[in-house]
Amino acid sequence: MHVDLRPLERGDLGAANRVLRDAFGAMLGEDTLGDTDPLGTRLAAGHVRGIGAFLSGVLVGSALVTRWGSVGFVGPLSVEPALWGRGIGSRLLGAVGGILDGWGVTHRGLFTFAHSPRHHALYQHFGYWPRFLTALMSSEIPAGLPRGTGWSVLSAQADGRAALAACAELAEAVHPGLDLTAEIAALQAQQLGDVVLVGDPARPDAFAICHDGPGTEAGAGKAYVKFGAARPGDHHAFAALVRSCRGHAAAVGARLLVVGVNTARHDAYRHLGEAGFRTDVAGVTMHHGNAAGYDRPESYVLDDWR
């Protein structure tokens, strides 16, 4: 069997989405993607690259890789279920690993199914090791929930440059070189949602990059935090960020707020449970070289590497 690898292009998205849904459906027993668009929105962003695997010219697998400054993560990676075990996933992982090498990231990882030894073995072969669970959590947003105070959104700022610079500085405090500037730029360019800013917009105490509604990574009736952070050790700012994201969800008419948190960030995870969030899916993050990255007890970070 000869499989060709080449960069994933916009014209490949229809086939890539079908394979992704088939693969995830085969693993989980249901379509968990709904009306979200995790491939199209990412492939349109400058900080994301994709590789496709083609058998006789037909796409049978794909993998994306995302760069957040010094941090890079792989995913989603999917292969046509009928071709599992044929080495296609290994070739895709090797190809995106080359992209990460070229970017020069200092921390890399991925999210995978906690219950799948097949996936763990594949990724361990490439130097990724399972660490703590990542909980994908949600909270219902009651009708008429007050918007709340003490926060704003980036789109409402007359000049957002100071806020963007402050978000970059805050991310640097979380982990050396971590930078969400390109992620925010992609959100703005594609009008996927907004950035929640807690406190002074020119120097926020915390921020969150939120997708809202269908055609994004959220889905209909949902707001989704792609990344959010308060300064390390600042519990009060993190609590305010969670309240503000709920307020943002209410403001955009969402019925559900979805977040991800690694359980190594113990206080952040515990706070979400106490704030009424429930765990819908438990996955595991695997880190290259078994490095902790920013998954530390003092980290108040929300993210999702799916």
For the chain, give every domain's residue range. 3-105, 137-303
Class of domain 137-303: alpha beta
128-140 and 3-7 beta bridge pairing: unpaired
pLDDT in the model for residue 159: 86
Per-residue confidence (pLDDT) for residue 31, from 0 to 100 = 81
Phi–psi pair at 68, nearest 5 degrees: -115, 75
Query: Over 90: is that where the pLDDT of 85 sits?
Result: yes
Please give the residue that has the higher pLDDT: either 28 or 268: 268
- Fold match flag (3-105 vs 137-303): yes
Query: What does the pLDDT look like over 238-258, one tens digit per residue?
Result: 999 999 999 999 999 999 999
Write down the pLDDT at residue 38: 95
First CA to last CA distance, the chain: 29
To the nearest whole number, what is the mean pLDDT of the chain?
96
Q: What is the pLDDT of residues 275-305, one digit of tens each?
A: 999 999 999 999 999 999 999 999 999 999 9
What is the pLDDT, as a whole number, of residue 188? 97
pLDDT, one tens digit per residue, over 169-221 is 999 999 999 999 999 999 999 999 999 999 999 999 999 999 999 999 999 99
Alpha-carbon distance values, 301 to 76, 100, 137, 258 (Å): 21, 23, 13, 14
Q: Residue 165: name the closest of 200, 212, 217 by CA.
A: 200
Kindly state the tokens that stand for 75. 């995913």
Closest to 141 measured CA to CA, from 55, 249, 12, 268: 249
The pLDDT of residue 28 is 80
pLDDT band at 158 (very low <50, low <70, confident <90, very high): confident
pLDDT for 140: 98
Residue type, 158: A
* Average pLDDT, integer, range 82-98: 96
Secondary structure string (H, E, C) spanning 269-303: HHHHHHCCCEEEEEEEEEEECCCCCCCCCCCCEEE
Give residue-wise pLDDT tens across range 138-154. Answer: 999 999 999 999 999 99
Nearest-angstrom CA–CA distance, 69 and 254:
30
What homologous superfamily is domain 3-105 in, according to CATH?
A: Gcn5-related N-acetyltransferase (GNAT) (3.40.630.30)
pLDDT at 227: 98
Q: Give the phi and the psi of residue 241 in degrees, each rounded to 5.
A: -65, -45
pLDDT of residue 27: 82
Note whether 34 and 258 are within 8 A (CB): no
Longest alpha-carbon distance in the chain: 59
Token pair belonging to 57: 């010219």
At 19-76, the pLDDT tens digits run 999 999 888 887 888 899 999 999 999 999 999 999 999 999 999 999 999 999 999 9
- Mean of the pLDDT values across residues 149-171? 95
pLDDT at residue 176, rounded to an integer: 98
